Structures are given as structure tokens and as C-alpha cells.
Amino acid sequence: MADAWIIAAKRTPVMPKGGAFNDIPASSLGAAVINAVCGDADLPHVDQVIFGNALYGGGNPARVAALEAGLDEATPAFSLDTQCCSGLDAISLAASRVRAGDADVIICGGLESYSRAPIRQHRPLKAGDPPVAYDRPPFTPWLDRDPDMLDAAAALAEARAVSRADQDAYAVESHRRASTDTEVAREITPVAGHDRDGFTRTLSIKACARLPVLAGTSAHGLSAATTAVEADAAAALLVVSDRIASTSAGPRIQILGAEAAGFDPSQPALAPVVAVRNLLARTGVSAADIAYVEIMEAFAVQAMACIDDLGFDPTCVNQRGGALARGHPIGASGAILAVRLFHDLAARGGGALGLAAIAAAGGLGSALMMRAQP
């Protein structure tokens, strides 16, 4: 069976909503990373662009980004929306098309701008009535099984008796790892003069303890420190066929497999556990075999629960800090995990394995496994 390879991967810095990227559309962030990965590889052509996006409000931001980046007008592009899973699912879809022989070169990933996301309103039911604003669309047909992600995470913390203190400690460690990361520059393409993530900081337990509870109880509740900040960013990867990979002078990372899973919509944080277990079973790999694990830290408790349920060594997970220290640009977050894995695996070599996993509203989870060259 044919293989799919990643030969280049870049992301923009991640900037909090209303921050340094406040005036930059998601498509322009996407164009920046398209140009970056094309500059890292000598490509004969690009067959397709596939980007995840969750907040655009319609249209086809992947196509806009491709045209803005200067790709040939004959290059098709489409956008997909599985909310937080979008970026990782775009990579999975690209790999499937390459393995099937339908394409040789696909640029895939995710792009998102919380800052420039449109204001959402429902049309009035009757003429003359005002439109009704809303923050999030429904993700299930059942109101009692469609919790806000924040509320679902708070319920998970309560059900598992994960203390606020333990969540705070996890967030402090995520920021510590990110603040001391000396390798982050290799994965970032600068945008608007910025070449570092804008939210990473030195965080202390005392500072966390002073923050008010956003959801849940005082004993197990979530705060701003243990919830990833809304953010703007884009990430892109070049997924290519055996033929193209064999001519690449740079690193080649093999995509071993990908998995998408559904789970109880009222417990969306645990959906990645199902996706990862299915992927490990299908590839014959054990949790102990994975050298680098990137789990999305939408909430500290969500990442903690996934690590515990899957039996990963915590020292192997988010080794250079996670989204709590970076931010959560919904449709791009999964692709950002994959970009980091690409660079870590390329640096290590030796056939090392890496895995990325992420949850989404509606009870969805996605996972992707990669392997470095021997």
C-alpha cells in the first residue's frame, strides 16, 4: 500500500483574540503558512489545498488563502468544519487522498481568527422581528446532551474529583515548559513582525489561586488559567506521495494512521480517548512506544483525563508546553499539534513515533500518528 509523508510544516505564532492579529483575516494567516511550507520544499505542483476552519461563517477560506498565497488558480481548495478537530481531520483527509493515488501533493492544516469571526445571528421567524444573536450553534439535536465545552469540562472535573489545585499545577507546568522552549522558532513563520506565541508567560500557583472560578465548584472548578484562551493562528503541512517524498532533500515524516471517533456528546473531552485507542489497536502500537504525544489542552482537566485514561507517561506529553500556554485557535489547533510533532520527530529521527489527539464539541475526537525516518 502507498504511504503518505509530511515533508514540510509551519505555523504562525498563536495570538490571543483581540491581540496582535486582531486586524488579520483567517485567510491571510492561512496564506502565510502556505507560502512558508512551499518555501521549505521544491514542489513541481500542488494538487489541492484542504484547511479546517470553525468560525468563518460561510464561504471557502481555504480557497481564499490559496489564491492570496499565489497558488495557481487551477489548484482546487476546500474548507472543512469539525470544530476543534478540523485541522487534524484535514491532515487525515489529505493522507487518505494521497494513499489512494488521487493526489501527489496536498497542502493541509487549519486557519482561524477569533478576532475577525463574524457576529452570529438567527434570522427572525416573523417579518419585522429583530434577529436573535447566538454564540454557538447546536452540536446535537438534544439540548440536554449539548453542553457548552466549559460546562462539560467542569462536570468532568467534578465527576473525577480533579481538584482546582491539581488543574492549576498542570497549567503552571504547561507555561513553564513553553517559556523555556528553545526550539519553537523552527516551527513558526513570522507574521506582522511577530515570531513568538503571544500568551506564554511565567505563571505561578499563587496567581492561579487568585483567579475567579469560571465554571464548577470552588474545589474542582475551572479558571482562566486552566482554560485555553481564544486565539488566532494558522498551520499548514505538505502531505505528499512516495514519489514526491523520495525526491525531497529535507525531512520526511511518515503518516502511520489517523482516526476519527464519536463519543457521548455530553462528555466531549473524552472522545480523543476512543480515537487514540482505536488508532493504537489498528497500528499495533502501545502507549509506551510513543516518544512524543501532543494532546490538545483546551482545558487542563480534559488533557489530564486523556493522559490518565490512555496511560501515557506525562513527561512525554506536550513536552514543550501546550495550548494552555499558547491559546486555542479552534480550526487550527489540531494542525498546530501536528506541526510540532513534525519538527520534534525530524530532529530526533531513529524511527521515533509521535501522536496528536484533540476533542471537539458534539462528542468528536481525532488522532494522528507519525513516524520519523530510521
| Residues labelled catalytic | 84, 328
DSSP 58-99: SS-HHHHHHHHTT--TTS-EEEE--GGGHHHHHHHHHHHHHH
Positive or negative CA dihedral for 323, 327, 328, 329?
Answer: negative
CA–CA gap between residue 30 and residue 14 (Å, rounded): 13
SS3 180: coil
SS3 168: helix
Instruction: Tell which residue, 259, 265, 327, 331, has the closest CA to residue 86.
Output: 331
Q: Which amino acid is present at 136?
A: R
Determine contact, residues 40/289, Cβ cutoff 8 Å: no
CA–CA gap between residue 297 and residue 303 (Å, rounded): 5
* Strand runs labelled E in 138-296: 231-240, 253-262, 292-295
Question: Position of cell 521549505?
Answer: 40
Strand partners, 233: 112
CA–CA gap between residue 236 and residue 14 (Å, rounded): 14
Q: Which amino acid is present at 281?
A: A
Rg for the chain, CA atoms, rounded: 20
DSSP 270-315: GHHHHHHHHHHHHHT--GGG-SEEEE--SBHHHHHHHHHHHT--GG
Instruction: Tell which residue, 294, 270, 284, has the closest CA to residue 368.
Output: 294
H or E, element range at 366? strand 364-371
8-state DSSP, 187: G
CA–CA gap between residue 21 and residue 318 (Å, rounded): 25
